[in-house]
Structure 1
Amino acid sequence: MHLHSPFIAHPVISWTEAGETRSARWRSESGVPAPKRVVIADDRMTADSAYRLACEGTAMLWRGDFQNARQLLQALARRVERKPGKPSKHPKPAASPTEAFHLHRMAQSQRARTLGMLLLPFEADYTIPLRRAPDVRQACNEAYGAGEEPFVASLRELLGLIGAHEWRKKGVPIPALGDRIHPYYGVFSPVRGEYVGLVAEAPLPSLELAFDIGTGTGVLAAVLAQRGVKRVVATDQDQRALSCARENLTRLGLAQQVEIMQADLFPAGKAPLVICNPPWLPARPSSPIEYAVYDPDSRMLLGFLNGLAAHLTPGGEGWLILSDLAEHLGLRPRAELLAAIDAAGLKVLGRIDVRPHHPKVSDDTDPLHAARAAELTSLWRLAAK
């Protein structure tokens, strides 16, 4: 998971400006490597010129008006999304779902690389020394921690920080709680409410104790506590998630019932209920933030399954909350999941399914539409054999 790295770990980038070589720290929370070539750009830069430079791998450090930089980024995005060439008379047959998934991720990665080539200067206190620049100090402090020295980061990353700050401020409504959860930057946001609803509705095997493995924002721990579970131990190994969960549970008035603990999967001991909502897709994350979505080699899923029996009290249940999207994309067959459950010394007591209702389900322009339209999210009730 993503841990806060010290500022000193950030590499230095250099460029020529006014006839002399200058340098600054490079900052990228999404793990993008520092650009090798940097040129100065300002309001005279055309979108076509900027797009050509970005495609060549040349980054542009902006010295013009901030709002003009935002408009230039939008123009770059339009060029990235424009389909080159004329439609073929003999289009290729539809790719398999797995090919569609990998092509989609490649396109996303290429888009991120190109749009990440427009850079901004930042002072040590996170002010941006450009005309009409907004005050982004709070958003940067929330994501980066205390500032230490001037640096350079991409405009695209900054917009992500600002968006995360807005989510954190206004929160995500959670009908099952009758309240809101406020996600931190880099912590998985519970915008897919259907999996929360499953945990709110499944029959509880006990009200004494529950473990919430990989708690993230703390939303599932909060649901269990609100349902009357007397004590919940919620674990995560990401510092941001731990801070986020503590703040959410305190705001909800549930901090006395829920203990937040740093751990890789399980805390010590056993419980009559152990729940886990691991990342749903067994693929390699391309940035630290993607660890909330992608679980390389199903590491967290298998870690949970293989350790579950040892952490259940007699008659206890493990709740695995998992979408079957990976099955529809050809990334992990159902037989593989069932074999992993069996190999871990577990049996399936039952399963509760729900159909997702997020906008992409009905978006037939989405390259993964067929898989998303067929997707089910399930709460698997597991027990030791």
Structure 2
Amino acid sequence: MNQPPVVEWTEADRPRAARWRSENGSPPPRRIAVADDRTRADEAYKLACEGTALLWRGDFHNARQLLTAMARRIDRRPRKTPPADVTQAFHVHRAAQNHRARILGMVLVPLDAAYGVPLHRAPDVREACTRAYGPAEPAAEGGADTVEDSAAATDSLVSLRELLALIGANEWRRKGVEIPALGGDRIHPHYGVFSPARGEYVDLVAEAPLPSQELAFDIGTGTGVLAAVLARRGVRRIVATDQDPRALACARENTERLGVADRVEVVEADLFPAGRAPLVVCNPPWVPAKPTSPVERAVYDPGNQMLHGFLKGLADHLTPDGEGWLILSDLAEHLGLRPHAELLDAFALSGLTVLGRLDVTPRHPRARDTSDPLHVARAAEVTSLWRLAPADR
């Protein structure tokens, strides 16, 4: 793993240095002020808006309360009337999300060399951090080993918001997500791997007529949920691919836990494995926009890169009577980000024809949340399984 960058600040009139950990790639803050239980939310919010991060040295629970208070101040900001144009509304919504993440990401907490949090009433986050960051390493040179106060335990800094996300993700990994298409068995997502909480697309793969039970490719397997569904449906061999090391480890763990590892081979590949199969399945990110965190890469696909890569290579990886299953939401169409005609043109340009399509409407709560600025688009969303084949067969 690459060494995290170093962040520097002054504390108690002495220079400090520590590693900077950020899963979304945010650069180290340029200015850091020390904060504790005496720091008021208004002061913290003002400093964060000005670009100064706050290194927390007080009670951990009070840090969480400060974060909540800062979030309330963001929510109280006067909101402009949402644009009538749905595409512009999407971009405004994303900008507001990014602003919120930036401000709330300014509250920092220290980690020691073993991923302990040297704060009063701090939870044990060692397992969550090890799973996200890898095994703990020796303390950084020039760090807190040379000081005598509480900063002596500081090997690295992380935003409290990210640390809470790590804790939550670790709980999801422990508990798992129940999958009806697997008979109620659970998929356990790793940190940074998209959780199959929206089960409707999984149901489509469980219900579509299989062209063959001999072999299938699962492109961009993620948690391995679709590969597991295909194995439970009787497909004798599935090759599941991904480029993300976390996804590869997650898929292997899940297929082993579900008892289908003898039929699912998880391999690292850029989209397709070698060879051809009578069934090739892909559930690419649904929205052509830039992701801002690792887990968002399963939702946002800049320029539809994965979608077009799958379509362009599909015909060359299908057997003569094979089918490609493309699982795709039309949310991007309702947001004005990808016209329906563009998708159909991409099929034609890739030498593909549509054999059929299965549709399902979303069941997640946001589709019914009228306060959501994107409610109209979400309420109209349909997720489809497109059955594709070479046009010249």
Q: TM-score range by the shorter chain?
A: over 0.9
Contact 1:168 1:182 in 2 (8 A): yes
C-alpha separation between the residues in 2 aligned to 1:293 and 1:334? Answer: 18
Report the equivalent of 1:106.
Answer: 95
C-alpha separation between the residues in 2 aligned to 1:349 and 1:212? Answer: 19
Over the matched positions of the two proteins, sequence identity in percent amounts to 70
Please tell me the residue identity of whatever aligns with 2:48. A
Contact 1:30 1:289 in 2 (8 A): no
Equivalent of 2:182 in 167, 177, 187: 177
Equivalent of 1:51 in 20, 45, 56: 45
Structure 1 residue ranges without an equivalent (≥5): 86-90
C-alpha separation between the residues in 2 aligned to 1:203 and 1:92? Answer: 47
Report the equivalent of 1:157.
Answer: 162
Q: Deviation per CA, 1:39-63, whole angstroms, max 9, x where unpaired?
A: 1111000000000001001000010
Equivalent of 2:252 in 229, 246, 252: 246
Contact 1:213 1:274 in 2 (8 A): yes
CA change 1:165–1:329 in 2 (3 A) is same
- Please tell me whether residue 223 in structure 1 is matched to residue 229 in structure 2: yes
Report the equivalent of 2:197.
Answer: 191
Alignment of 1:68-107 (within 5 A): 68-84=62-78, 92=81, 94-107=83-96
Secondary structure of the corresponding residue to residue 176 of structure 1: helix
Contact 2:353 2:389 in 1 (8 A): yes
Equivalent of 1:143 in 132, 150, 154: 132
Root-mean-square deviation (CA, aligned residues, Å) is 1.0
Deviation at 1:13, TM superposition (A): 1.3
C-alpha separation between the residues in 2 aligned to 1:358 and 1:276? Answer: 21
Contact 1:194 1:357 in 2 (8 A): yes
C-alpha separation between the residues in 1 aligned to 2:170 and 2:34? Answer: 29
Structure 2 residue ranges without an equivalent (≥5): 140-154
Equivalent of 2:360 in 354, 362, 377: 354
TM-score by structure 2 length? 0.94
Contact 1:210 1:275 in 2 (8 A): yes
- Please tell me whether residue 315 in structure 1 is matched to residue 315 in structure 2: no
C-alpha separation between the residues in 2 aligned to 1:105 and 1:382? Answer: 33
Equivalent of 1:133 in 116, 119, 122: 122
Contact 1:31 1:288 in 2 (8 A): no
- Please tell me whether residue 40 in structure 1 is matched to residue 34 in structure 2: yes
C-alpha separation between the residues in 2 aligned to 1:334 and 1:247? Answer: 37
Deviation at 1:83, TM superposition (A): 3.0
CA change 1:332–1:120 in 2 (3 A) is same
Report the equivalent of 1:373.
Answer: 379
Deviation at 1:92, TM superposition (A): 5.0
C-alpha separation between the residues in 2 aligned to 1:54 and 1:287? Answer: 20
Equivalent of 1:25 in 19, 28, 44: 19
Please tell me the residue identity of whatever aligns with 1:126. Y
Deviation at 1:93, TM superposition (A): 7.1
**Aligned residues, how many?**
374
Please tell me the residue identity of whatever aligns with 1:245. A
Report the equivalent of 2:9.
Answer: 15
